[in-house]
Amino acid sequence: MEHNDYIPKPAKLIGIKEEVTGGRAIKTFRAKFLNGHGFSHQCGQCAMLSVFGKGESMISISSSPLQKDYLQFSIMKTGRVTSALHSLVEGETIGIRGPYGNNFPIDDWQGKNLIFIGGGIGLAPIWSVLQTALGRKDDYGDLTLIYGSRTSADIVYKEDIQALRDKMTVHLSVDVEEPGWEEFVGFVPANVKDKALKPGNAIAVTCGPPIMIKFVIMALGELGFTDEQIYTTVENKMKCGIGKCGRCNIGPHYVCKDGPVYSWAELKKLPPEY
Amino acid sequence: MEKILTKQSFPEWIEKLSAYKVYAPIKKEDHWDYEVVEKAVGLDPAYGNAVLSPKKIIFPQREVLFEFGSQTKEGFDLKENLPEDEAVVIFGVRPCDAKALTGTDKVFSGDFEDPYYRKRRDAATLVGLSCNTPPSKNCFCLSVDGSPFSKTGLDVLLTDLGETYFVETLSDKGEQLVNAASAFFSDSKKKEKKEVEKLQIDAEKKIVRQVKDVKSLPGKLKEIFDSSFWDDESLSCIRCGICTYLCPTCHCFDICDEVTCEYPLAGKRVRTWDNCQFPDFTMHSSGHNPRPDKASRLRQRIQHKYNYFVERYDEYQCTGCGRCIGKCPVGIDIIEVLNKVNEHGA
Amino acid sequence: MVNLEELKSEIKRVLGEGKVKYFIGYRRSTGGLPAAPFFMKETEDVERLIWDPTCIANLTRFLDDEKKRKARQKEPDTRPIGIIVKGCDSRAINVLLQEEFIKREDVYIVGVSCEHSGMVDEKKLAAKMKGKAVAQVDFAGKDNFAVTAADGEKTGIPAAEVLAGRCVECKVDYPVVRDVTFGEELARSPGNAFKSVEKIEAMSVAERWDFWKEQFDKCIRCYACRSVCPMCYCDECVVDTINFAVTAQTGAKEKAQKIKWIEKSPATSENFFYHMVRAMHLAGRCVDCGECERVCPVDIPLRFLNKKMEKEAKELFDYDVGMNPELPSLVSSFRDEDAEDFIR
C-alpha cells in the first residue's frame, strides 16, 4: 500500500488524568499504539489526534522522546474534538498520526543553563523538552522552571512539579492573591523579572497564551537575553499537519511543518499572524 | 512529435479513447464546465475557458479520504479510499490552467506526498488548446511567465488552424493518446508550424492587461504588509469564496468527519476545498483569529500568490487566467491591486 | 435625468461638511462591465463617481459591514454613512429599518431614479453584442441604452432586450426612502412582477426536482449569494464550520454542542439544504435586488426561489416587501385575515 499521511494509526488510551476541572478543564492522556504501529518523535513535535466522527486536532506531544512506553498529551477542553477527547475513558481507542513539525534544538544547547517559562496549558508543549533535559541532566547546566496559572487549581502536572523541586529550581505563580499561596502573585512576565534570570550561557523556552509569550519575551529582553536565546512554540488552526491545507501559515512558513518551534530571532521576522 | 488532425476527425479520435474517461468543456447556461463526455463532439469554437479549471478533476472539491467504523479489538475499522485506477484525458485545457497544476504539483508532493492528488494527476493526460484569442479580457498570463501558447504542464497541445488542429505531443502520455488513433493524424509541414508561430505572436499582442514590474512584487509586498493599503483595497470585499474557489492554483482545503445518524458509528473523513477569504478559515477554537478581518484576508490572498509562494516554490501562485477578476461580485481586480502595490510609497 | 454633476456636488457637499463618515457609490470597474462599489472619503474621490446602467450592485449590503465595524471600535465615529440607492436597494433599507438592524439616522440616503429603463444584464448584453467588448453603457431616454463598444462604435439598444431580470419584473424603480433624490419619478406601467416564476410553477413536482437538482448540483458553495445579500447579516450562519459568534468567553461545552447542521461537502443534500435555508430566511425580506443571481459564478437562477417566496407573501398575506418600515415584518406578525389559522 502507498504511504498515506492522512491515515491515523490506532492507539489505546492507557491512562487519563484529570489535571484541571471546571470551564477550562484539562486532562492528560497517555496513549499506546496498537498492532505494532508507532513513531519516534523529537521534543516540541506535535501529532494529529482523531476522535472518529468528531474530527482531528493537532496536539503537542508532552512526553519526552526518552519515554518509549507511551505518548502523552495534555489537552484543554475547548472545542468539538477536545470535548470528545475529554469524554473518552481508559481503554478506548483514538487515532494518531504524526509526528509533525520541527523540534527544539536541544543538542545545540548542551552545556547551557535552560530556563522553562510556561503559562497555563502552555506548559504541555515545553514539558517534553523539560523532561528530556532532566533525563540528560549531565548534558546541561542549571535547569529552572517558571510556571504560572490563573489560580492554584489551574496548575497542570501538580505532583510532577512538586517532584521537580529536588532536581531543578521551580518558581510558581498565580494571577491573583489566594489564601495559602506562598509563592509569587502576578503574571508570569512579572515573575520572570522578579526572579532576575541571568542571561549568561542560558536558553529560555516559553509557551503560554499569545499575550503572555509577548510579554515574557519583552521581560527577557529587558533582562539582557538576546533574541537568539529565546525560544517559543506557536500554534495556529491546522487541518492537514503536512504543509498543504494552507491555513496555519505565518507568512511563508507553515507552523505545522516549519514550526511550531521558533527562536524569537526567527519569529520576529515573520508577520504577526498567530 | 508534431501532427495535423482535421477537425472532422477530432470526434473520431475521442471515440477511439475508450480506455480513458474523457472530460471536455461543456456549455452550461452562460458558462463552460468540464464534464465527462457522453458523446464525442468537436470543441466549440465559441469556447473561452471553463468556470472551474481542471483543478476540479485532479483535486476535486470533495474527496473521501477514508471511511471509518466503530472501535474493534485492533483499533477501529478503517477503509482507505484512494482514487480508482482510471486513465483520464481532459480536452480543451487552457495553457494557464495546465501551468497552474505544475504549481499545485509542488504543494502536493515533496516530503509529504499526497497520494490522492498524485494518483489523479498521474492518471490524467492533459490536452491543451492554445488561445488564439484571449478567452477573457482579463487574461494576463504574459505578466506571470505564461503565454497563450505555453506548453508547461500539458501532454498535448492543440492549436486551432481553422480546418485542422496542429498537434504537438509533449510527453509519453501525450504520444500514447495520439498513437491510440494514429490513422487520424498526418505529418505536419513547415508551413503549418510557421502558421502556429504567427498565431502565437498575434495572440500575445491581443493580451492587453498587464501586471507591471512583477519581479519586484515579493519585495514590495513584504514592505507593505502593515500598511493601511489593505484596509482600503478590501473595503468592497464581501468575503465570498469566488476568487479562491475559481482560482486554478488555490489549493487550501478542510478535513471534516461526516457521519450518519446510525448506530454503530459509521462515517467518512472528507477533504473539501476551503477558502482563506472565509472568516472561520483561521479561527482558533478559543475564538482568537490571526486573520480577523477582510483586510488581513485579502492581504493573505495577494501575499500568498505573489510573495509567500514565490519564497517557497520559486514561482507565482497565479497564472493570469483572470477568473478572480471577471467573477468578483464587487470588481476587486488583482492586476489593479498589484500595480498599486508596486506604486505604493513611490 | 439624473444629472451626474449635480449628484457629485451633493456628495461633495455632504463629505465636505463632514456630515458623513464616507459615501458609497459606484466607480468604473477595471475588471468587468458592472460598476464597482466605490468608497469615497475625500471630496476629490467623488470625481470618479459614475451613474449609468451598469450600477447594478446593491450597496446596502455594506451597511452590515459598517454596523459590525462600529461594534468592534471602542469609540466609534457615530456619523452616518452616505449611500446611493436605487428603488430596489431603498426597499432593502426599509427592511433593515423594519428589523431594527439599522437606525434611520445611520444612513444618509441619496436616491436615484432608474430613468425609466433599469440596469443592464452583463450576460444578455454580451450575447446581444455577439462577443464584441463593451466599454460603456449609458441611459438614452425612456427604455433605451446607448452602448459604446471597446472600439468606440456606438449603438442604441432597446433596454428591454438587455435588461436585468430583476428590472424586467421591477415594481418600484424609484427610491421609497431617501434624504434627497436625483432623477424623475416616472409613471411606470407595472408588468407581471412574478412572470418568471410561472415557468417553474408550470412544472410537475418531479420536473421541479430534476430542475433544481441540476441547478444545485452545480453549486460550489462559495457563498457569494449569501455574502452579497443585504439581508444575510446574521452573526451566526448555519453553514459555517465555526460560528463567527465564538469568542474567548464561549465555553467548550457550548462550542462542542453546536449542531453541525450542514457539511462543507458540495453534495446534493447539503446544497439543497443550504439554498432552502437561505430561501426560507428571505421569506418576506427579499426585495428582489437580484444580486444573488447576478454574482453566482455557476449561473444558478436563484431569483426563481426568492420570487416564489415573494409571490406567496403577496398572494397569501398581501404583503409587499420593503414598502413601509413602520409595518411589522411578515414573519413576525399576524392579522385576523391571514390565511393560515394554525396560530389562532
Task: Give dist(CA C15, CA A134) in Å, integer.
Answer: 67
Q: Are C289 and C170 in contact (CB under 8 A)?
A: no
Q: Å from C228 to nearest chain B CA?
A: 6
Task: Give dist(CA B341, CA B217) in Å, integer.
Answer: 7
- Inter-residue long-range contacts of C335-344, CB under 8 Å, 24+ positions, other chains counted: C340/C316
Q: Are B144 and B211 in contact (CB under 8 A)?
A: yes
CA distances from B325 to A45, B49, B58, C198 (A): 41, 14, 23, 35
Q: For chain C, what percentages of helix, strand and coil (3-state, to nearest 5) are there?
A: 40, 15, 50
B329:C35 CB<8 A: no
Q: What is the DSSP string of C91-118?
A: HHHHHHHHTTSS-GGGEEEEEE--TTT-
Closest to B238 (Cβ–Cβ): which among C61, C248, C298? C61
pLDDT digits (tens, 9 = 90+) for C102-146: 999 999 999 999 988 899 999 999 999 987 889 999 999 888 999
C132, part of any domain:
no
Closest to C224 (Cβ–Cβ): which among B242, B279, B325? B242
Cβ-Cβ contacts under 8 Å, B286 against chain C: 248
CA C158-C164-C166 angle, 5° bins: 125
C252:A84 CB<8 A: no
Cβ-Cβ contacts under 8 Å, A78 against chain C: 252, 255
Q: Å from A76 to nearest chain B CA?
A: 10
Question: In the sheet where A184-185 sits, what is the strand order?
Answer: A184-185, A169-174, A143-149, A113-119, A202-207, A230-233, A261-263
Q: Å from B324 to nearest chain C CA?
A: 9
Chain B interface disruption, residue of A32, A235, A249, A255, most B CBs within 10 A: A249
Grid cell for residue B185:
493524424
Chain-centroid distance of CA A129 in Å reads 9
What is the mean pLDDT of the segment spanning C68-87? 93
C218:B28 CB<8 A: yes
B243: Cβ contacts below 8 Å, ≥ 6 apart: B277, B301, B323, B324, B327, B328, B332, B334
C129, part of any domain:
no
Looking at chain A from residue 98 to 127, which residues have their Cβ under 8 Å from any Cβ of chain B? none
What is the mean pLDDT of the segment spanning C166-185? 90
Structural domains of chain A, ranges and CATH numbers in brackets: 9-100 (2.40.30.10), 106-233 (3.40.50.80)
* Closest-CA residue of chain C to B140: C31
Cβ-Cβ contacts under 8 Å, B29 against chain C: 299
Task: Give dist(CA B165, CA B158) in Å, integer.
Answer: 6
Task: Give dist(CA A272, CA A251) in Å, integer.
Answer: 9
Task: Give dist(CA B270, CA C104) in Å, integer.
Answer: 46
Q: Is C84 helix (H, G, I), strand (E, B) or coil?
A: strand
B329:C38 CB<8 A: no
B238:C228 CB<8 A: yes
- Spell out the alpha helix ranges (H) of chain B: 10-16, 55-58, 95-108, 115-123, 172-179, 190-206, 217-223, 229-233, 242-245, 294-303, 309-313, 323-326, 334-343
* Closest-CA residue of chain A to B75: A10
C223:B336 CB<8 A: no
Determine if the peptide bond prior to B264 is cis (ω within 30°).
yes
Cβ-Cβ contacts under 8 Å, B279 against chain C: 240, 244
Phi/psi at C150 (nearest 5 deg)?
Answer: -60, -30
Q: Å from B267 to nearest chain C CA?
A: 12
A78:B286 CB<8 A: yes
| In the predicted structure, residue C257 carries a pLDDT above the cut 90 | no
Closest to B31 (Cβ–Cβ): which among C32, C248, C299? C299
B8: Cβ contacts below 8 Å, ≥ 6 apart: none
Cβ-Cβ contacts under 8 Å, B285 against chain A: 78-80, 82, 237
Residues of chain B with pLDDT under 70: 346
Q: What residues are paired with B253 via a beta bridge? A: B273
Closest to A53 (Cβ–Cβ): which among B267, B281, B288? B267
C144, part of any domain:
no
B51: Cβ contacts below 8 Å, ≥ 6 apart: B31, B32, B33, B246, B323, B327, C297, C298
Which residue bears the cell 482558533?
B284
A7:B74 CB<8 A: no
Cβ-Cβ contacts under 8 Å, C26 against chain B: none
Task: Give dist(CA B93, CA B34) in Å, integer.
Answer: 9
| In the predicted structure, residue C236 carries a pLDDT above the cut 90 | no
CA-CA-CA-CA dihedral for A50, A52, A54, A57, to nearest 10: 10
Residues of chain A with pLDDT under 50: none
Q: What is the per-residue pLDDT for C186?
A: 72
C136, part of any domain:
no
A53:B274 CB<8 A: no
User: Using alpha carbons only, how large is chain C's radius of gyration in Å?
Assistant: 21
- Spell out the alpha helix ranges (H) of chain A: 80-86, 124-135, 158-164, 188-194, 210-222, 264-267
For residue B229, the tally of other CB atoms under 10 A from its CB is: 18
Choose among A221, A214, A170: nearest CA to A193.
A221
Q: Is C226 helix (H, G, I), strand (E, B) or coil?
A: helix
Cβ-Cβ contacts under 8 Å, A2 against chain B: 82, 115
* Closest-CA residue of chain A to C246: A79
- Put simply, whether C251 touches A (Cβ < 8 Å) is yes
CA C317-C318-C322 angle, 5° bins: 105
| Chain C neighbours, 3+ Cβ pairs < 8 A | A, B
| In the predicted structure, residue C344 carries a pLDDT above the cut 90 | no
Query: How many structural domains comprise chain C?
Result: 1
DSSP designation for B284: -
Cβ-Cβ contacts under 8 Å, C251 against chain A: 23
CA C148-C150-C153 angle, 5° bins: 45
Cβ-Cβ contacts under 8 Å, B274 against chain C: 264
B329:C294 CB<8 A: yes
C255:A23 CB<8 A: no
Task: Give dist(CA B49, CA B59) in Å, integer.
Answer: 18
Chain-centroid distance of CA C172 in Å reads 14
* Residue pairs spanning B and C at CB distance below 8 A: 129
* Closest-CA residue of chain C to B293: C69
Grid cell for residue B283:
479561527
* Residue pairs spanning A and B at CB distance below 8 A: 122
Q: Which domain holds residue C301?
A: 4-119+164-330
Q: What is the per-residue pLDDT for A210?
A: 87
* Closest-CA residue of chain B to C132: B137
B283:A237 CB<8 A: yes
- Put simply, whether A165 touches B (Cβ < 8 Å) is no
A82:C251 CB<8 A: no
What is the mean pLDDT of the segment spanning C75-99? 95
| Chain A neighbours, 3+ Cβ pairs < 8 A | B, C
DSSP designation for C307: H
Phi/psi at B293 (nearest 5 deg)?
Answer: -135, 170
Amino acid in position B41: V
- Put simply, whether C247 touches A (Cβ < 8 Å) is no
The 3-class SS string of C128-168 reads HCCCCCEEEEEECCCCEEEEEECCCCEEEEEHHHHECHHHH
| Chain B neighbours, 3+ Cβ pairs < 8 A | A, C
Q: Å from B272 to nearest chain C CA?
A: 6
Task: Give dist(CA B127, CA B155) in Å, integer.
Answer: 6
